[in-house]
Amino acid sequence: MSCISPQETYCEEIFVDGVEVLTEKQYWAKEPKYKGMIPLNLLRRMSKSVRMGVGTGMPLIKKYNDIDGIIIGSANGSIKKSISFLNQIVEYDEGTLTPTDFVQSTSNSIAGTLALLGKIRGYNNTHVNNGIAFESAVLDALLLFEEGEAKRLLLGGVEEISQANYNVDVLRGMFKKEDVDSTNLLFSGTQGTVSGEGASMFIVDSEKSVDSFAKIVDVNQVCFPSKEEVVERAIAFLENNNLSPDDIDGLFLGYNGDNRTDFYYDFLQNQLFQDKALFVFKNLVADFYTVSSFAMWLVASLFNGKNLPKETILRNTNKKINRVLIYNHYEGTQHGFILMERP
């Protein structure tokens, strides 16, 4: 797996040097040097989301062969290129337009570029349904495996900050008006959160191999539930996998500091997981549509023997974490569960 985020995750320095305190209202991704990884003539034309997707995906493609397909979750994709292309339509009166902006204006440009550079001619799909885009990508992968249509896939979630979208989201009250740093974000008790971006990629196999260090057991999603319905869905989700809340060792919750919607997380853990280890992740990377892919990267890192930064631990039980439930929602409307365990 590979991850680009507002923290130093690309070389996994976050587990050695700790978490950087972020103070801006937009948490910008720390991109690696792409020279040698991406041809310079292509790099100059790439949008940020495509760069990050290629930067996380290509090292995995080069290391692991026999990849049968690529599945990406990206609600906005190269949104900056989309806006640039639309502006060109107006500026040139629908005349001769720059083809690069058109080619990279779609969300599937990330998966398409990875397929072209990696010469992967199999299944290629991008899920764009906002706050559950990554959960839908995971579900897509699980379905392909169950149907026997693939044995190895590149799975990922990618999102970039678009200044145009950010300005609109500010006007509709999504982000905080006051300044708050990442150490106080989750407990600010005010309306809104902060905006983030990043890319997380995973090589997933249908069967366990000697390289396997984390297992995705199942995924589930629901839209517009009440807090009681979230609890009911969580119970049903676990029962469908022959589990109960007692079988969960750790809970990764998407607290983002917005006092209008964080009550979902409070209610779920108080109802079902009062004595379980609790972890958070949006104080490291802020909030974006596919942030649950970063949560999966953290869980997999934990299962791979890494000690998670203290900033991610909300409640420690000093018990070995063998099975984890990731629960995240976007603006209280789209809710996703991902169940993971050690293989």
In the chain the first and final C-alpha atoms are separated, in Å, by: 16
pLDDT score recorded for residue 82: 74
Kindly tell me the number of DSSP H helices and DSSP E strands found in the chain: 12, 13
pLDDT score recorded for residue 101: 67
What residues does 195 pair with on adjacent strands?
26, 287
pLDDT score recorded for residue 254: 98
Give me the torsion for CA of 229, 232, 236, 237, rounded to 10°. 60
What DSSP string describes 27-57? E-------BTTB-HHHHTT--HHHHHHHHHH
Q: Would you state the structure tokens that stand for residue 109, as one six-digit string?
A: 């440009």
For the chain, give every domain's residue range. 2-341
Instruction: For the chain, 343 residues long, give each residue's pLDDT as a single digit of tens.
Output: 999 999 999 999 999 999 999 999 999 999 999 988 888 888 888 889 999 999 999 999 999 989 999 999 998 766 676 777 788 888 878 887 777 766 666 778 899 999 999 999 999 999 999 999 999 999 999 999 999 999 999 999 999 998 888 888 999 999 999 999 999 999 999 999 999 999 999 999 999 999 999 999 999 999 999 999 999 999 999 999 999 999 999 999 999 999 999 999 999 999 999 999 999 999 999 999 999 999 999 999 999 999 999 999 999 998 999 999 999 999 999 999 999 999 9
Residues contacting residue 60 through CB under 8 Å, at least 6 positions apart: 1, 2, 154, 201, 202, 203
Backbone angles phi, psi at 93, to 5 degrees: 50, 45
What pairing do the DSSP bridges indicate for beta strands 198-205 and 2-4?
A: antiparallel
Element (H or E) spanning 340, and its range? strand 334-341
* Fold exhibited by the domain 2-341: Peroxisomal Thiolase; Chain A, domain 1 (3.40.47)
pLDDT score recorded for residue 83: 77
Radius of gyration of the chain (CA): 19
pLDDT score recorded for residue 180: 93
Residues contacting residue 312 through CB under 8 Å, at least 6 positions apart: 279, 280, 281, 283, 284, 298
What residues does 199 pair with on adjacent strands?
4, 158
Dump pLDDT digits (tens) for 204-226.
999 999 999 999 999 999 999 99
What pairing do the DSSP bridges indicate for beta strands 313-315 and 2-4?
A: unpaired
Cβ(222)–Cβ(229) below 8 Å: yes
Q: Would you state the structure tokens that stand for residue 230, as one six-digit string?
A: 């979230």
3-state SS assignment for residue 327: strand
- Residue position matching structure tokens 């706050």: 131
Report CA-CA distances (Å) from 189 to 1, 178, 186, 262, 269: 34, 12, 8, 9, 18
Report CA-CA distances (Å) from 229 to 155, 225, 233, 271: 29, 6, 6, 12
- Residue position matching structure tokens 């976050």: 14
Q: Which amino acid is at 110?
A: I
Alpha helices in the chain (DSSP H): 14-17, 40-43, 48-63, 79-91, 99-103, 109-118, 133-146, 163-171, 227-240, 263-272, 282-285, 292-303
Q: Would you state the structure tokens that stand for residue 243, as one six-digit string?
A: 């589990």
| Residue 164: alpha-carbon gap to chain centroid | 21
